[in-house]
Amino acid sequence: MLAFHLLKKFGRRRKNPKNGVITNCVKMNLAKIMKQCEPWQKDFFQALTLPLRGSSRKATELHPSDEGHSVEFFSIAEKWIKPNQVLSAAERLELYHRQYWYRILDSLAEDFPVLRKMSGDQVFWDLIEQYLLTRPSQSFTLRHLGEGFAVFLSKSEILNNQQRRWFEAIARIEYAYMESFEALQSALPQAADLENKMIGIQRHVRLLHLPVPADLCVDWEDFAPAYHCPHESVSVAIWRRPSGSSGIVRIPNEEACFLSALAGGVFLTEFFTQLPEPHPEAAQVSSWFADWQARGWLCIKGEQGLNAFDIDEPWQEKQAMSSQAMSFPQP
């Protein structure tokens, strides 16, 4: 096995997106991107996504392995990379390979802190590695790296049935923070707008129907309480506050259904005349709307708003080079 010099992970670490600057990121299909690449670019990316091996692996939290790089890795290196006086072609490729893996491992781990706590480090890093091997980065931004993680967990053979149900739900919650973080803001309705404009739900509001109460896990020290917790389905909403921080609240199923009906946009005067029986009492609906308006959930469909943040928010430890800035969570 060819030995490589150890290289420590360095550079700015990406913060978990509980809040931050909103950008309009466009997701791109990896297959379409690869079709536009030159042959050397395709081979180079293929080499980067091969498993982390040798001394480079020892600098991570992945389980140790003495297995060396595959023939494919060395073949790509010899085909496209010239050696220099210090490094061979494979060693030069390894520099990029390890940096790719160090970056995506750290980024994905930072996006799923509750899942890491519930699964424990050993299982967590096994899951992370298997996921990244089966589903390499599909986007130009690290924010989308965990897009398919929940589905992967629901089918993972590393987990038992109970873990699959809970871990998938946890991952859905934590990735919803990512989606809420970068969603655009639509115009907020005023009182008069509710009567004559199409009203919908802000795109940063993520409504999740979960098979288990995974929202409780953030307060648990480990996964043990899950074995004694009733497996009841719950609905939660995740949204972005004006401060930029994220909020999560559990909502009754009846309210969740009502919200889902509004998501596509409705004229309220028509909407309320067409409600199927039995429908919520007027006082209940009025209370819901008051809560939604106070939280900034409602929007005017088709009218873009401002991604404005509270200037009094304590934006400390903001990293200008980070892909996501983060302020301290608000109580």
pLDDT more than 90, % of the chain: 44
**23-27, 105-109, 115-119, 268-272: lowest mean pLDDT where?**
23-27
The residues facing 251 across adjacent strands are 235
Phi, psi values for residue 234, rounded to 5°: -140, 160
Q: Within this chain, do residues 215 and 307 fall inside the same structural domain, yes or no? A: yes
- Mean of all residue pLDDT scores within the chain: 82
Please report whether residue 265 resides in a domain: yes
3-state DSSP assignment of residue 330 = coil
3 or 267, higher pLDDT: 267
Please report whether residue 100 resides in a domain: yes
3 or 328, higher pLDDT: 3
Angle of CA points 58, 142, 306, to nearest 5°: 150
Residue range 6-25: mean pLDDT, rounded: 40
239 or 31, higher pLDDT: 239
Under the banding of pLDDT at 50, 70 and 90, the label for residue 32 is: low
| Cβ–Cβ < 8 Å for 17, 181 | yes
Under the banding of pLDDT at 50, 70 and 90, the label for residue 238 is: very high
**Region of 54 on the Ramachandran plot (φ > 0 left; ψ -120 to 50 alpha; else beta):** left
| Cβ–Cβ < 8 Å for 221, 238 | no
Q: Within this chain, do residues 125 and 200 fall inside the same structural domain, yes or no? A: no
pLDDT of residue 218 exceeding 60: yes
DSSP code per residue over 144-165: GTTTTHHHHHHH-TTS-HHHHH
Please list the alpha-helical segments (H only) found in 50-146.
54-58, 71-80, 89-111, 113-119, 121-134
Whole-number pLDDT of residue 311: 47
Q: What is the pLDDT of residues 68-109, one digit of tens each?
A: 888 888 888 888 889 999 999 888 988 988 999 999 999 999
Whole-number pLDDT of residue 102: 92
Q: How far apart are CA 131 and CA 317, in angstroms?
A: 30
pTM of the model: 0.79
Query: Measuring CA to CA, how many Å separate 278 from each of 78, 275, 282?
Result: 70, 8, 12
Whole-number pLDDT of residue 36: 67
Under the banding of pLDDT at 50, 70 and 90, the label for residue 110 is: very high
Whole-number pLDDT of residue 16: 43
Residue range 260-276: mean pLDDT, rounded: 85
- Report DSSP state, residue 214: G
Residue range 133-141: mean pLDDT, rounded: 87
Range of 167's domain?
20-182
Q: Take residue 108 and report the two structure tokens written for it.
A: 């994905």
Q: Within this chain, do residues 73 and 168 fall inside the same structural domain, yes or no? A: yes
Q: What is the pLDDT of residues 172-196, one digit of tens each?
A: 999 999 999 889 889 999 888 888 8
| Cβ–Cβ < 8 Å for 173, 191 | no
Q: Within this chain, do residues 30 and 169 fall inside the same structural domain, yes or no? A: yes
Please report whether residue 3 resides in a domain: no
Under the banding of pLDDT at 50, 70 and 90, the label for residue 319 is: very low
Q: Within this chain, do residues 166 and 94 fall inside the same structural domain, yes or no? A: yes
Whole-number pLDDT of residue 29: 61
Positive or negative, the CA dihedral 191, 196, 197, 200 is positive
3-state DSSP assignment of residue 250 = strand
- Amino acid occupying residue 316: Q
Q: Within this chain, do residues 24 and 161 fall inside the same structural domain, yes or no? A: yes
Please report whether residue 4 resides in a domain: no
CATH number at residue 266: 3.90.930.50
Q: How far apart are CA 310 and CA 289, in angstroms?
A: 23
Q: Within this chain, do residues 178 and 277 fall inside the same structural domain, yes or no? A: no
Under the banding of pLDDT at 50, 70 and 90, the label for residue 57 is: confident
